[in-house]
Amino acid sequence: MQISETILLIVIALITGISALFCIISLATPRWSLTQGLYCDNCSQPASGLAIVAFILLIVALVIICLFIARILPNSVRALGVIVLFLGVIFTLSAFASYFKDWSGYSYKLMVVSNFFCVVATVMAGFWLGGSYAASVARTN
């Protein structure tokens, strides 16, 4: 069964767009914890900056993916979209990890580290799987 590269990129763009939507809603709403939001006097300042950078990276990744759908970017820079998405994942994870850093114990921090390594392993497995199924993806519409 062949999967169209354009269809696959559209699905990736939709998922990235949904992620960016949730990110902007998260930035705009006041309930990061039960009592306070992201922008308060005694909140973690790095968390707000990391969350904003994560949102910007998600938007940049969405633009890059849309440029690939429109065939504007050459195939030689295909990894650019994955790299920007991966950076967005790291900044998203860092934002919520730094927000709760003062209220959490070492078990929470170990789970955050576990999440990071899980994402890295998933991306590497995706590259491996993509390389092994490269013949199944059609380069035409």
Residue 67 has pLDDT above 90, yes or no: yes
Under the banding of pLDDT at 50, 70 and 90, the label for residue 66 is very high
Determine contact, residues 81/69, Cβ cutoff 8 Å. Answer: no
Q: What's the rounded Cα separation, in Å, for the pair 70 and 134?
A: 21
> Model confidence over 23-40: pLDDT tens digits?
898 888 877 776 777 777
Structure tokens at 136: 């199944």
Q: Are 29 and 64 in contact (CB under 8 A)?
A: no
Mean per-residue pLDDT, 89-96: 88
Percent of the chain clearing pLDDT 90 (strictly above): 20
* Arithmetic mean of pLDDT, 88-98: 87
Higher per-residue pLDDT: 89 or 43? 89
pLDDT over 60 at 120, yes or no: yes
Return the pLDDT at 134: 63
